[in-house]
Amino acid sequence: MSIRMPLMAGNWKMHYTAAEAVALVEELKQGITRFHDREVVVAPTFTALPAVANALSGSPIRLAAQNCHWEKQGAYTGEISPPMLKDVGCHYVIIGHSERRQYFRETDQEVNLKAAALLAQGGKTLDVLAEQLGGGLSGLEAPPADRIVIAYEPIWAIGTGLTATTEQAQEAHAFIRERLVKWCNKTVANQIRILYGGSVKPDNVDALMAMPDIDGVLVGGASLKGPSFIRIVEFQE
Ligand code: PEP
């Protein structure tokens, strides 16, 4: 485990009504005991955010949105802005997920605009990278380390049941951290958390979290059931 506070995040993608999402949150609140040395984040659908925020009141579990627009407001039918997400209690916004790039043709330039908008309004971003630091962050001034989390997710590992070996993942994370040093500086780069994503499950989380540059996980499928996500959050060092 690294010196950075581990961040265990569940991306619920397009699953669950508000009532179903609240039921899962209640399970997590009951089941997770180790909040003192790890940060736990859940990212429900937009429609479930207010109900989940309400259910999380008083809990250390933090709320994330799965996407945002870069403008504060305007004629952008179907979009949701960073201030709107902040208003419903979102602490993080996931941007740059490969599913958004694949199915909605989201580009590095758009991810870049979203990152800039979130950082400008004081939000926190959870940037998902398919490769090493790409154009999503280029040209942006490096923010304080606690405002940005990087997730490294090899596309072939997402939702496939295939996971990078712990060595492959560690190597990629160390490489990303080296690139971060060029983007900000060594002190900040050493504080930025880099999460691994791609078929993380209860039976591989312990080995992944034992790697020095893996500071947490971004979990899709295995975050949809209480017992499985609770076991992941409660990884053993
Ligand atoms: C993801 O979508 O970010 C992800 C890692 O999914 P899964 O855990 O299902 O591979």
49-103 pLDDT, tens digit each: 999 999 999 999 999 999 999 999 999 999 999 999 999 999 999 999 999 999 9
Ligand 1 proximity of 226 Cβ (cutoff 6 Å) = no
Question: How high is the pLDDT of residue 132?
Answer: 56
Question: pTM value?
Answer: 0.94
Ligand 1 proximity of 67 Cβ (cutoff 6 Å) = no
**36 Cβ contact list (under 8 Å, min separation 6):** none
Residue 132 lies in a domain: yes
Residue 1 lies in a domain: no
Question: How high is the pLDDT of residue 237?
Answer: 77
From 42, 199, 217, the mutation candidate for ligand 1 (largest count of ligand atoms within 8 A of CB) is 199
Q: What is the CATH number of the domain that holds 82?
A: 3.20.20.70
- Residue numbers of the domain that contains 171: 7-233
**180 Cβ contact list (under 8 Å, min separation 6):** 133, 150, 188, 189, 192
Residue 149 lies in a domain: yes
Cα dist from 137 to 116, 151, 207, whole Å: 8, 13, 29
Question: How high is the pLDDT of residue 225?
Answer: 98
Residue 127 lies in a domain: yes
Which parts of the chain register pLDDT below 50? 1
167-176 pLDDT, tens digit each: 999 999 999 9
Residue 186 lies in a domain: yes
Question: How high is the pLDDT of residue 2?
Answer: 56
Residue 147 lies in a domain: yes
Ligand 1 proximity of 221 Cβ (cutoff 6 Å) = yes
Distance 225 CA to ligand 1 centre (A): 14
Ligand 1 proximity of 223 Cβ (cutoff 6 Å) = no
Question: How high is the pLDDT of residue 131?
Answer: 61
> Which of these is catalytic: 69, 91, 97, 173?
97
Question: How high is the pLDDT of residue 139?
Answer: 79
Pairing of strands 124-129, 148-152: parallel
Residues in the chain: 237
Number of structural domains found in the chain: 1
> Which of these is catalytic: 39, 69, 153, 173?
153
Residue 2 lies in a domain: no
Partners of 197 in the beta sheet? Answer: 218
